[in-house]
Amino acid sequence: MIQKKICLLGASGVGKTSLVKQFVEGIFNEKYLTSIGVKVDKKIISLAEQQVQLMLWDIEGQDRYHVFQERYLRGAAAYIIVVDQTRTISLRQGIDIHTLARQSTNCPAILAVNKNDLPAAWRLDEDEYASLAPLFDLHFSTSAKTGEQVEAMFLAIAELLHGNKKNDITT
């Protein structure tokens, strides 16, 4: 079976851990327990022709120590930049992290605007959207709480990576 490493990146508290938990376990927790280091979860996705095992690298918020641990990206087939629609600054932080990540990998990048069950503190106007959209291969409006677009996002990523032999991890 092929394996694909996918990193979740973004500022603290945007919902990286919650997205993985919702996708892998179908659980959501209101309590905030900040991540330290990295935790890897696995889930098998069945595509039409074959199964893909996603290895989800849930990484601590990159604003924590003001350093970007690019070594976490080694071997990644894709990364998800998670931003929080209730906090405007998280978009700027997400784009900064994306810029840094681009210095070490050219793999597909996905934007997840999370917490879509809560009122939005910001919305992109047409010009902003036009400049942001080309930076990402896919983008989603997710909720780790309701599960909206969570499975759809990981499925779309698996499909995008399917057939892309680069960065396959074989066991």
Ligand X SMILES: Nc1nc2c(ncn2[C@@H]2O[C@H](COP(=O)(O)OP(=O)(O)OP(=O)(O)O)[C@@H](O)[C@H]2O)c(=O)[nH]1
User: Which residues here bind ligand X, judged by CB under 6 A?
Assistant: 10, 12-18, 29-32, 34-35, 60-61, 114-115, 117-118, 143-145
Strand, coil or helix: 82: strand
CB nearer to ligand X: pick between 6 and 144: 144
CB nearer to Mg ion: pick between 16 and 115: 16
* CB contact at 8 A, 44 and 3: no
Binds 108: which of ligand X, Mg ion, none (CB < 5-8 Å by kind): none
Binds 149: which of Mg ion, ligand X, none (CB < 5-8 Å by kind): none
Residue 12 interacts with Mg ion (CB under 5 A)? Answer: no
Q: Tokens 């394996």 correspond to what residue?
A: 3
* CB contact at 8 A, 28 and 21: yes
β-bridge pairing 38-46 and 51-59: antiparallel
Q: Which of 9, 17, 110, 153 binds Mg ion (CB under 5 A)?
A: 17
Shortest separation between residue 60's beta carbon and Mg ion, angstroms: 6
* Type of residue at 29: N
Residue 2's beta-bridge partner residues? Answer: 52
